[in-house]
Amino acid sequence: MATFAVSGLNSISSFNNNFRSKNSNIFLSRKRSLLFNLRRRRRSFYVSNVASDQKQKTKDSSSDEGFTLDVYQPDSTSVLSSIKYHAEFTPSFSPEKFELPKAYYATAESVRDMLILSWNATYEYYEKMNVKQAYYLSMEFLQGRALLNAIGNLGLNGPYADALTKLGYSLEDVARQEPDAALGNGGLGRLASCFLDSMATLNYPAWGYGLRYQYGLFKQLITKDGQEEVAENWLEMGNPWEIVRNDISYPVKFYGKVIEGADGSKEWVGGEDITAVAYDVPIPGYKTKTTINLRLWSTKLAAEAFDLHAFNNGDHAKAYEAQKKAEKICYVLYPGDESLEGKTLRLKQQYTLCSASLQDIIARFEKRSGNAVNWDQFPEKVAVQMNDTHPTLCIPELLRILIDVKGLSWKQAWGITQRTVAYTNHTVLPEALEKWSFTLLGELLPRHVEIIAMIDEELLLTILTEYGTEDLDLLQEKLNQMRILDNVEIPTSVLELLIKAEENAADVEKAAEEEQLEEGKDEETEAVKAETTNVEEETEVEKVEVKDSQAKIKRIFGPHANRPQVVHMANLCVVSGHAVNGVAEIHSEIVKDEVFNEFYKLWPEKFQNKTNGVTPRRWLSFCNPELSEIITKWTGSDDWLVNTEKLAELRKFADNEELQSEWRKAKGNNKMKIVSLIKEKTGYVVSPDAMFDVQIKRIHEYKRQLLNIFGIVYRYKKMKEMSPEERKEKFVPRVCIFGGKAFATYVQAKRIVKFITDVGATVNHDPEIGDLLKVVFVPDYNVSVAEVLIPGSELSQHISTAGMEASGTSNMKFSMNGCLLIGTLDGANVEIREEVGEDNFFLFGAQAHEIAGLRKERAEGKFIPDPRFEEVKAFIRTGVFGPYNYEELMGSLEGNEGFGRADYFLVGKDFPDYIECQDKVDEAYRDQKKWTKMSILNTAGSFKFSSDRTIHQYARDIWRIEPVELP
């Protein structure tokens, strides 16, 4: 245990003892004096601003006269004082001890102090200048630990390291006490967090909005039964980075009914009411005065809604019911949605995010506007970015507020909404393009269903204008592909147009027939009479089949009883937003050519590409400091941290033996950290001399962890068939590392986790194999685990079925850290391979344009599996990896059709190419000079994949905002 004993300052513990023993008045005076001195010494920022009345006068002025934010870098002594102050006066722990957890909280609160002034000044300045601001709505923000990132961005590693050393601890040990914020799951949330870092670093006026999940997704345990889930406890000891804003809360409503006033206005009344409360988290930029905000919503029940009468009558369950309903909205990220209750809870989460955020955004706009609110200026001051389809309900919510609350017309509100919102698509998987039950949505959000129906009507009228009504079959096809409300009654206005068009067509046809009969009357009277009789007979038949035009139209375009009525959220996003972007070049092309092709043909100007990116601060500088120092040395400065184009300069030194030697040493030191992590997390001991081969990402069939583990099984089987000498000659030693969570109700993904751990249990205890092959599943994969694994990885697997991974960001992180990739031409792999060079990327597998044909071939029974693939399946079925029944897992790869069959993700098709590509990996790794050069070229080629670059593109092409640097 460390104690406070610093020259020139009383220890906090000693001070505390004095407090209890001296006269209270005398001590209060001393306490105030100490508090003043500590505050004075730890200040790193101060703000000098104009008077508040002057600020109001200049709200719309572009002048920044009178506003300055001066930055003073504190030394270790003032940092030490600040930490000691928080250990005593911001207590989260008992006062007797100063152990690591308390040291972390005091340190974090000290850093937060230095962020608060710049945080407040940033938004005070934005309000003064009345700048256009971007708001990023996401269900996930996978932040990771904040302490080292914040200290690094502030450039205060040295002072904090020195101060903590004087207190008996290292900065690294203190930082490890921080739990990962359980606000995300995978790439979607990590991308959002990288974006926030870049927005702040580049001085863009922006905010993030999300939900404050009490238990996150889940904490993953690996047991003999595979993956088990327990609640995440990240908030158990509190969160020093957040500040609750009790004065910022908004009502959120569910259920109820819509009533119409005499003037045609609509009001949503009754139902279930909750309150969303704001929790703010500062997001500092790198070496800039800007600190932006992540606002998270937590839900509760208003005190007046608590049923005190029921409680006093002993019906405690009834009294608590409304409170628990409100609170559970923010319990868990992505609650299981197999049940109706689960679906309802997910929908409540999404609406809570959208409603609270939109109310907040509008309140901020009105505050900036003062007494003269011009709603047509709303899109000139506000940009709303929907990160995937989860925040789609912000579209009808914005319309509801503008129409029902602010009194705007439909036309004006619809125009404002279309100019304000934009949509990022993250998937081509049909099941991931959200669809909600029309009935459920109508019950939970009755006013929003009405508004969505109005948007759907606007879309239908546009389609009718574009394609006409002559070809009803074509029109029906377009509506089936594009409608927002699928299998729902056609709006009356559209139905009337279709009926009128059908009647007009019938009249034209009849007139043409009469004219034809009249022209031929003299020359072919008898023939015409006969023909007339036939026409009349056919007309009578048609009247029997379709009594009138209205019945015919309803038969063609009406809903079908055996199909569900659903709301297509992605279609709603595309129709309502002014921009739709994919997240990698190949993905954006698939979005245009396949996923939203009909919309692309209608509105080609909406569609853009914005290839994902990762922040080089967290994902290279802070997690890999040794390699970062080498890069700085060889490029001449640390400018690459904000101008990643500088990384390309490494190319000219790729053959330099001195650089290669330094590079290998850094990689080796990072591998030793992985060895320690594996021992700590799994108990396995692995050799640092082996190749470290890593696949860490969400467990999903399309990401094909199954292909990876099948390749390992094949490798193991071949080793077992060889003599010890042959094994060493044939195979490079490997440590194959997996990490990632399978969703709790995704049974097949959980089978894959179980299989990987079973293979590891067998292989890792086989004395014949020893260090030649190890298989490790690292439990509870998160950002902090990634920050250890990525710097020490040598080969990383990005092997999804081509055309199914939108982008990926872990591939960028690995490449940035000098790790070689093996992968398909999918997502950002395509662009990474172009930048790092084809010779520095291990490519295999079918390409995206071939996939549909290969699946068709399989369905027709024409696919002949490679004998090596069949060999692996047979080997697994011998029970070599334990008694667990893997028949369902094996069966998914067999057969020609059917759900859960027919190898939909083409594991068997790509398997032979994959294992042959792995032979090339072994061959390249044997030549360490060549491998190191390839590693350097991967880092050099990763310059394109900085999230800074991506954010510049969003700001320029979608949000149309400018950087606003504090003076």
Question: In DSSP terms, which residues pair with 608 in a beta bridge?
Answer: 581
Which position among 552, 606, 727, 813 bears the catalytic label? 813
Look-up of token digits 């030191």: 669
Asked about 809 being catalytic, the answer comes back as: yes
Angle, helices 907-926/867-877, rounded to nearest 10 degrees: 100
User: What backbone torsions phi and psi does residue 861 show, to the nearest 5 degrees?
Assistant: 75, 20
Asked about 266 being catalytic, the answer comes back as: no
DSSP sequence for 179-224: PPP-S--SHHHHHHHHHHHHHHHTT--EEEEEE--SS-S-EEEEET
Cα(189)–Cα(193) distance, integer angstroms: 6
Q: Could you say which DSSP state residue 334 is in?
A: S
SS (H, E, C) 133-179: EEEEECCCCCCCCCHHHHHHHHCCHHHHHHHHHHCCCCHHHHHCCCC
Pairing of strands 272-284, 243-254: antiparallel
- The three-state secondary structure class of 455 is helix
Nearest to 959 by CA among 209, 362, 289, 386: 386
Which position among 128, 426, 592, 855 bears the catalytic label? 426
Burial state string for 320-330 with b = 16 or more CB within 10 A and e = fewer than 16: bebbebbbebb
Cα(508)–Cα(528) distance, integer angstroms: 20
Cα(124)–Cα(49) distance, integer angstroms: 10
Pairing of strands 435-437, 421-424: unpaired
Cα(404)–Cα(418) distance, integer angstroms: 18
User: What backbone torsions phi and psi does residue 625 show, to the nearest 5 degrees?
Assistant: -65, -35
Which position among 299, 682, 809, 950 bears the catalytic label? 809
Which position among 219, 671, 703, 734 bears the catalytic label? 703
Instruction: Tell how far CA 869 is from the center of its chain.
Output: 35
**Amino acid found at 833:** R
Which position among 400, 667, 698, 909 bears the catalytic label? 698
Nearest to 11 by CA among 167, 162, 146: 167
**Amino acid found at 104:** Y
Asked about 253 being catalytic, the answer comes back as: no
SS (H, E, C) 63-87: CCCCCEEEECCCCHHHHHHHHHHHH
**Both structure tokens of 468:** 């006409």
Instruction: Tell how far CA 273 is from the center of its chain.
Output: 29
Cα(812)–Cα(581) distance, integer angstroms: 19
- The three-state secondary structure class of 306 is coil
The total of other beta-carbon atoms located within 10 Å of residue 441's CB is 22
The total of other beta-carbon atoms located within 10 Å of residue 604's CB is 9
Question: In DSSP terms, which residues pair with 736 in a beta bridge?
Answer: 693, 775
Inter-residue contact 580 to 403 (CB < 8 Å): no
Cα(938)–Cα(611) distance, integer angstroms: 18
User: What backbone torsions phi and psi does residue 907 show, to the nearest 5 degrees?
Assistant: -60, -50
Look-up of token digits 């360490």: 928
Cβ neighbours of residue 431 closer than 8 Å, sequence gap 6 or more: none
Number of residues that make up the chain: 967
Asked about 59 being catalytic, the answer comes back as: no
Inter-residue contact 588 to 607 (CB < 8 Å): yes
Nearest to 821 by CA among 787, 853, 798, 793: 798
Cα(694)–Cα(401) distance, integer angstroms: 48
Look-up of token digits 């007009």: 504
Asked about 697 being catalytic, the answer comes back as: yes
Q: Could you say which DSSP state residue 404 is in?
A: I
Inter-residue contact 409 to 399 (CB < 8 Å): no
Which position among 128, 295, 346, 697 bears the catalytic label? 697
Asked about 426 being catalytic, the answer comes back as: yes
Pairing of strands 734-739, 257-260: unpaired
Q: Any idea which residues carry the catalytic annotation?
A: 426, 697-698, 703, 809, 813
